[in-house]
């Protein structure tokens, strides 16, 4: 199963979350992501992106729309839907 | 809280419930929920809007408390807690919520006897996570499923009995703006209080990632059982966002929304403003006719009516500004503006979220600085606090509008845009650029560090709750009038005294004010303010305005009214200034007002938020220096251009 980073998805693409946070990410940040709904098994979809370089992005996850920067969204690993 | 105290508390509660028939003890009910779940609207619906708004001691997290009587006549104390996504608190306001919920310090807030957990029915997948977390506190809970009407419109069909059973808490569906479900909620609260009056305090706990995972799997399991029909996703928010967050249209809308805001503040407010002005003038004339000449008449017309009157006329403009800000906050646009601006904010080293405190600072830097508590990182927070007072707050508005009306011709420029409105917009832009410039400087020197993280909810658009907006607006307007009646009144009287005494000697040639204390002080300061184009009357009026910016209008009115005996109090201040000042002086004063730190409340709130005198001192010094330099350059340039 090929996984990709959430921050690399284009607008309109979505994937199922398989992993949140790696050893490189601070535990506080990972906890924050999870409390807002980034959890393994949930679906995340990139819905909008900001002007001038497409960063930050707006991601829909567990029924809410969350804004985060692409680089930070990379803490979330997804299996992309075709 | 240590264990002995906890035990005492438990036994005290036990005792009180036994003797409740004789001496009813006021129970405390706390509202807890995710941000944007409609918690404050529900709080207003429960308390009927009669809330005491204050601050938690030590920190400036807004604290709201109200009273309500249940259908059977029990009085309850309702406390609205800041919204939080989880009990693992990171930001200052989340820490307050956590500490109150855990009952950490009874002196700060009595620990609640019961919690009303508020959940947005359209977002249960996330909102129920906090409900499960709250359950671990061991306090009685009643769950309010708020925004139930919107959820049902989207086709959600829930089996509330199953949901209630699985969550282990009673559930009441509510629609806060329509008051629906409020009495049912109070009944459920009352019943729950009778059933279990005993809360067992628990120590603060943190969740591990595994615990969070399990919590949300539990949410999914419960929702699977209780959902008969899933709701369709929101269509309107998506459609709107496709335009509002569009790279081109979105930026254009952002620019137009704020451009329009300043245009309307200037144009719409004219009618009520002129009406109040004419009332103030009428009052001045009435006193003038009725009273015999003498010090008391002079005090009333030149001191009180001139001073307070000239500030109170700006009530319509300030109310309109707050109306805009409250509306944009309540309908969900503010975080979108932050989203669009994040790239630019990032360029100067700020968080996209810093955009919201900075925007609120258009109304007033005090709530703006308070709003920085949602920023986790200390460096980002301090930078935002230090630049927030550069954003054009409403207290500058009286000075700006008076000077613009007196010195800038109201020519048409393009379409509905007139020169006066455009100059106003320009002043706001100048404030923004000053704030961003200073932020960039701070972030590349004293507050050097990695770019802050951004994680921000973009809530579903909603039609703002009229009641909440009206209440917010009323509170702000009341504060403004109260200030005019206290601070500005006393400063006006003091200034009248200083500019009227001592009386000029026999056969004096200069105007009376030049012989007074104020005249002496002003003339002493003149060499200092001369390079920036201010005369000694401006210097005198400027001193009290260091307490609050809008005082300047009143103190100028007093100084000029006393100094200009032949015209009396009936001539408008703007006309007097237009005669007395050059355009260069007016421009220099405008620039001074963009940059100077003239607000005791801002310094006080900075002291409280940073818990040190250092940062308010830094703020005062850097802003005053900047203002002096800015005014100097402006005045010299204007003189060079021949606007002297």
Split at pLDDT 50, 70, 90, the class of B383 is very high
Q: What is the pLDDT of residue A20?
A: 92
Contact B338 A68 (CB under 8 A): no
Question: What does the pLDDT look like over A14-37, one tens digit per residue?
Answer: 999 999 987 777 888 888 899 999
Q: What is the pLDDT of residue B570?
A: 55
Contact A21 B209 (CB under 8 A): yes
Residue numbers of B between 87 and 146 with CB closer than 8 Å to A: 88, 90, 122-126, 129
CA-nearest residue of chain B to A27?
Answer: B209
What ipTM describes this predicted complex?
0.94
Which of A30, A42, A48 is the best substitution to test chain B (most B C-beta atoms within 10 A)?
A48
Question: What does the pLDDT look like over B182-198, one tens digit per residue?
Answer: 999 999 998 888 876 56
Split at pLDDT 50, 70, 90, the class of B373 is confident
A52 touches chain B (CB under 8 A): yes
**Which of A41, A50, A62 is closest, CB to CB, to B339?**
A50
Q: What is the pLDDT of residue B313?
A: 74
CA-nearest residue of chain B to A64?
Answer: B123
What is the average pLDDT score of chain B? 82
B312 membership: H or E segment, kind and range: helix B306-312
Choose between B436 and B465: higher pLDDT.
B436
Q: Give Cα B80 distance to the centre of its chain.
A: 17
CA-nearest residue of chain A to B249?
Answer: A51
CA-nearest residue of chain B to A28?
Answer: B90
Backbone angles phi, psi at B444, to 5 degrees: -100, 0
Instruction: Name A63's Cβ contacts closer than 8 Å, sequence gap at least 6.
Output: A37, B122, B123, B124, B125, B126, B233
Contact B455 A51 (CB under 8 A): no
Beta carbon pairs, A and B, within 8 Å: 114
Split at pLDDT 50, 70, 90, the class of B52 is low
Choose between B141 and B200: higher pLDDT.
B141
Choose between B557 and B42: higher pLDDT.
B42
Strand stretches in B43-177, DSSP E: 51-55, 62-69, 75-80, 114-120, 141-146, 157-158, 171-173
**Tally of CB atoms within 10 A around B47:** 20
Q: Which of B10-19, B241-250, B446-455 has the weakest average pLDDT?
A: B10-19
Q: How much of chain B, in percent, has pLDDT values that exceed 70?
A: 89
Angle at A17 between CA A11 and CA A20, to 5 degrees: 110
- Residues of chain B with C-beta less than 8 angstroms from the C-beta of A47: 238, 241
Q: What is the pLDDT of residue B481?
A: 79
Q: How much of chain A, in percent, has pLDDT values that exceed 90?
A: 62
Split at pLDDT 50, 70, 90, the class of B239 is confident
Place of tokens 């103030």: B280
Which of A22, A33, A64 is the best substitution to test chain B (most B C-beta atoms within 10 A)?
A64
Dihedral, B253, B257, B263, B264 alpha carbons, nearest 10: 130
How far apart, in whole angstroms, are the C-alpha atoms of residue B236 and residue B230? 17
Q: What is the pLDDT of residue B262?
A: 67
The answer, yes or no, to whether residue B565 has pLDDT greater than 60, is no
Q: Which of B196-210, B439-453, B599-613 has the weakest average pLDDT?
A: B196-210
How far apart, in whole angstroms, are the C-alpha atoms of residue B397 and residue B590? 11
Q: What is the pLDDT of residue B11?
A: 40
How far apart, in whole angstroms, are the C-alpha atoms of residue B29 and residue A45? 38
- Whether this prediction's pTM lies above 0.90 is answered by no
Mean pLDDT value across residues B459-471: 84
How far lies B9's CA from each of B301, B423, B486, B633, in Å?
60, 61, 43, 65
Tell me the shortest Cα–Cα distance from A39 to chain B, in angstroms.
Answer: 7
A82 touches chain B (CB under 8 A): no
Instruction: Name B147's Cβ contacts closer than 8 Å, sequence gap at least 6.
Output: B37, B38, B120, B121, B122, B175, B176, B462
Q: What is the pLDDT of residue B30?
A: 93
Tell me the shortest Cα–Cα distance from B451 to chain A, in angstroms.
Answer: 11
Mean pLDDT value across residues B1-10: 40
The answer, yes or no, to whether residue B503 has pLDDT greater than 90, is no
How far apart, in whole angstroms, are the C-alpha atoms of residue B388 and residue B366? 9
Of A38-42, B290-294, B332-336, which has the strongest mean pLDDT? A38-42
Q: What is the pLDDT of residue B635?
A: 95
Choose between B106 and A13: higher pLDDT.
A13
Q: What is the pLDDT of residue B2?
A: 43
Strand stretches in B200-250, DSSP E: 227-229
Tell me the shortest Cα–Cα distance from B268 to chain A, in angstroms.
Answer: 33
Split at pLDDT 50, 70, 90, the class of B19 is very low
Instruction: Name B165's Cβ contacts closer than 8 Å, sequence gap at least 6.
Output: none
Give the pair of three-digit tokens for residue B96.
């307050």
Q: How much of chain A, in percent, has pLDDT values that exceed 70?
A: 98
The answer, yes or no, to whether residue B477 has pLDDT greater than 70, is yes
The answer, yes or no, to whether residue B597 has pLDDT greater than 70, is yes
- Residues of chain A with C-beta less than 8 angstroms from the C-beta of B207: 31
Instruction: Name B282's Cβ contacts closer than 8 Å, sequence gap at least 6.
Output: none
Nearest to B306 by CA among B334, B327, B287: B287
Split at pLDDT 50, 70, 90, the class of B358 is confident
Of B11-25, B153-167, B231-245, which has the strongest mean pLDDT? B153-167
Tell me the shortest Cα–Cα distance from B99 to chain A, in angstroms.
Answer: 18
Q: What is the pLDDT of residue B14?
A: 41
Q: What is the pLDDT of residue B141?
A: 94
The answer, yes or no, to whether residue B13 has pLDDT greater than 60, is no
A35 touches chain B (CB under 8 A): yes
Choose between B72 and B224: higher pLDDT.
B224
- Residues of chain A with C-beta less than 8 angstroms from the C-beta of B245: 48, 50, 58
Question: What does the pLDDT look like over B397-412, one tens digit per residue?
Answer: 888 988 998 888 888 7
How far apart, in whole angstroms, are the C-alpha atoms of residue B332 and residue A60? 16
Contact B343 A63 (CB under 8 A): no
The answer, yes or no, to whether residue B306 has pLDDT greater than 60, is yes
A12 touches chain B (CB under 8 A): no
Q: What is the pLDDT of residue B474?
A: 85
- Residues of chain A with C-beta less than 8 angstroms from the C-beta of B216: 34, 37, 39, 42, 62
A49 touches chain B (CB under 8 A): yes
Question: What does the pLDDT look like over B78-136, one tens digit per residue?
Answer: 999 888 999 988 877 888 889 889 888 776 677 888 999 999 999 999 999 999 999 98
What is the average pLDDT score of chain A? 89
Mean pLDDT value across residues B485-497: 77
């Amino acid at each position: 199963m090929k996984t990709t980073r959430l921050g690399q998805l284009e607008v309109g693409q979505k994937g199922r979350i398989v992993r949140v946070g790696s050893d490189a990410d601070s535990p506080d940040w990972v906890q924050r992501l999870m409390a807002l709904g980034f959890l393994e098994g949930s679906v995340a979809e990139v819905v909008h992106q900001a002007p001038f370089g497409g960063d930050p992005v707006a991601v829909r996850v567990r029924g809410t729309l969350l804004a985060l920067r692409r680089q930070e969204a990379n803490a979330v690993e997804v299996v992309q839907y075709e | 809280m240590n264990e002995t105290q906890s035990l005492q508390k438990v036994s005290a509660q036990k005792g009180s419930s036994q003797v409740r028939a004789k001496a009813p003890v006021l129970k405390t009910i706390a509202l807890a929920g995710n941000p944007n779940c409609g918690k404050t609207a529900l709080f207003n619906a429960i308390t009927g809007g009669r809330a005491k708004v204050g601050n938690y001691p030590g920190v400036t997290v807004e604290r709201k408390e109200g009273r309500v009587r249940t259908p059977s006549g029990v009085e309850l104390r309702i406390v609205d807690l800041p919204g939080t996504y989880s009990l693992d608190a990171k930001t200052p306001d989340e820490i307050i919520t956590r500490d109150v919920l855990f009952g950490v310090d009874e002196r700060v807030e009595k620990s609640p006897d019961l919690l009303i957990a508020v959940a947005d029915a359209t977002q249960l997948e996330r909102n129920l996570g906090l409900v499960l977390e709250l359950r671990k506190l061991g306090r009685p809970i009643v769950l309010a499923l708020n925004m139930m009407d919107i959820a049902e419109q989207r086709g959600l069909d829930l089996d509330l009995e199953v949901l209630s059973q699985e969550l282990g808490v009673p559930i009441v569906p509510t629609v806060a703006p329509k008051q629906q479900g409020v009495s049912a909620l109070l009944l459920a609260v009352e019943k729950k209080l009778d059933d279990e009056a005993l809360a067992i305090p628990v120590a603060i706990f943190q969740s591990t990632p595994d615990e969070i995972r399990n919590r949300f799997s539990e949410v999914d399991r419960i929702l699977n059982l209780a959902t008969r029909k899933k709701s369709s996703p929101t269509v309107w928010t998506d459609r709107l966002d496709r335009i509002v967050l569009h790279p081109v249209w979105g930026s254009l809308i952002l620019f137009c929304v704020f451009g329009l805001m300043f245009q309307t503040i200037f144009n719409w407010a004219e009618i009520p403003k002129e009406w109040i002005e004419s009332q103030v003038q009428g009052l001045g004339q009435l006193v003038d006719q009725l009273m015999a000449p003498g010090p008391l008449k002079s005090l009333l017309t030149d001191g009180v009516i001139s001073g307070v009157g000239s500030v109170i006329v700006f009530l319509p403009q300030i109310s309109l500004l707050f109306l805009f800000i409250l509306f944009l906050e309540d309908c969900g646009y503010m975080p979108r503006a932050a989203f669009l601006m994040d790239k630019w904010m990032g360029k100067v080293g700020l968080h996209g979220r810093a955009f919201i405190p900075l925007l609120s600072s258009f109304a007033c830097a005090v709530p703006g600085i308070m709003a920085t508590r949602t920023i986790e990182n200390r460096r980002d927070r301090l930078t935002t606090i230090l630049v927030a007072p550069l954003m054009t707050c409403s207290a500058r508005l009286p000075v700006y509008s008076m000077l613009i009306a007196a010195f800038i011709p109201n020519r048409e420029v393009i379409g509905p845009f007139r020169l006066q409105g455009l100059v106003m917009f320009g002043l706001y832009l100048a404030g923004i650029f000053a704030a961003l410039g200073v932020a960039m400087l701070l972030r590349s020197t004293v507050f050097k560090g990695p770019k802050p993280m951004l994680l921000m909810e973009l809530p579903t658009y909603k039609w703002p709750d009229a009641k909440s907006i009206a209440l917010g607006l009323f509170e702000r307007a009341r504060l403004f009038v109260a200030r005019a009646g206290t601070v500005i009144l006393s400063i006006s009287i003091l200034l009248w005294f200083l500019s009227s005494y001592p009386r000029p000697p026999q056969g004096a040639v200069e105007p009376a004010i030049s012989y007074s204390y104020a005249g002496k002080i002003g003339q002493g300061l003149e060499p200092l303010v001369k390079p920036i184009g201010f005369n000694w009357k401006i210097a005198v009026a400027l001193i009290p305005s260091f307490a609050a910016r809008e005082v300047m209008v009143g103190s100028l009115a007093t100084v000029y009214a006393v100094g200009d005996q032949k015209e009396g109090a009936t001539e408008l201040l703007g006309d007097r200034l237009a005669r007395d000042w050059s355009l260069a002086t007016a421009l220099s004063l405008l620039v001074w007002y963009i940059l100077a730190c003239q607000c005791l409340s801002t310094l006080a709130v900075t002291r409280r938020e940073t818990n040190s005198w250092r940062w308010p001192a830094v703020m005062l010094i850097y802003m005053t220096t900047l203002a002096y330099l800015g005014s100097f350059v402006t005045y010299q340039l204007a003189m060079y251009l021949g606007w002297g």
